[in-house]
């Protein structure tokens, strides 16, 4: 089946919003080093753009998780495929995720990371689909709220495709 893509959020809008988010973090973390944790693979485009625009010192690490589900929704059973390389003890950690949907993946991750004694722990996402929330997640900042539609691009995939789109698109069947 051929999928048709529509633009939900343009490249210019995404870029401008990420610059704003970076400026907010620079103010909030002035004088500190921020340890960004990207959740592979969806967060990488957002994380790179954000980190490039931040002026406070930044260190990076990555985690990979998969949550068993039917492909478009997660089950809540989260498997840790790749753990962090470094300890987060005493660090100012920001978890960077592509999208907050049911909240299952992030609530599991927050629980795991809190147990490792970071100095502070916050979560930011590029996108938030509040209508879909099943488990509440304390989100520090999000780029955009999006409606309950399957979105792709800027790191987000549909069966591994479309991650490299420079904008947020929606699949129109």
Give contact residues for Mg ion (rule: CB under 5 A): 42
> Which among 24-32, 45-53, 85-93, 100-108 is the span making contact with ligand IMP, rule CB under 6 A?
100-108
Among 46, 88, 102, 109, binds ligand IMP (CB under 6 A): 102
- Give how far Cα 2 sits from Cα of 72, 112, 161, 164, 172, Å: 18, 40, 13, 18, 10
Residue 61 bears catalytic tag: no
> Which among 5-13, 54-62, 80-88, 147-155 is the span making contact with ligand IMP, rule CB under 6 A?
147-155
CB contact at 8 A, 36 and 52: no
Catalytic member of 70, 85, 101, 148: 101
Considering beta carbons, is residue 29 or 45 the nearer one to Mg ion? Answer: 45
Among 9, 25, 100, 126, binds ligand IMP (CB under 6 A): 100
Q: Least CB distance from residue 104 to Mg ion, whole Å?
A: 11
The 34-73 site mask, x for binding ligand IMP (CB under 6 A), equals --------x------------------------x------
Q: Least CB distance from residue 39 to Mg ion, whole Å?
A: 6
Considering beta carbons, is residue 70 or 85 the nearer one to ligand IMP? Answer: 70
CB contact at 8 A, 91 and 35: yes
Give the active site residues.
101
């Amino acid at each position: 089946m051929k999928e048709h893509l529509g633009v939900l959020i343009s490249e210019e809008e995404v870029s401008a919003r990420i610059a704003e988010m970076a400026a907010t973090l620079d103010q909030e973390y002035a004088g500190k080093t921020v340890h960004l944790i990207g959740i592979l693979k969806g967060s990488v485009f957002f994380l790179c753009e954000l980190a490039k625009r931040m002026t406070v010192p930044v260190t990076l690490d990555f985690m990979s998780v998969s949550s068993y589900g039917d492909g478009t929704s997660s089950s809540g059973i989260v498997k840790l495929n790749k753990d962090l390389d470094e300890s987060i003890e005493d660090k100012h950690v920001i978890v960077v995720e592509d999208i907050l949907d049911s909240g299952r993946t992030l609530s599991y991750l927050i629980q795991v990371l809190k147990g490792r004694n970071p100095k502070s722990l916050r979560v930011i996402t590029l996108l938030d689909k509040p209508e879909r929330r099943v488990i509440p997640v304390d989100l520090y900042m999000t780029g955009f709220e999006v409606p309950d539609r399957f979105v792709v691009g800027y790191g987000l995939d549909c069966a591994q495709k479309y991650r490299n789109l420079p904008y947020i698109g929606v699949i129109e069947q």
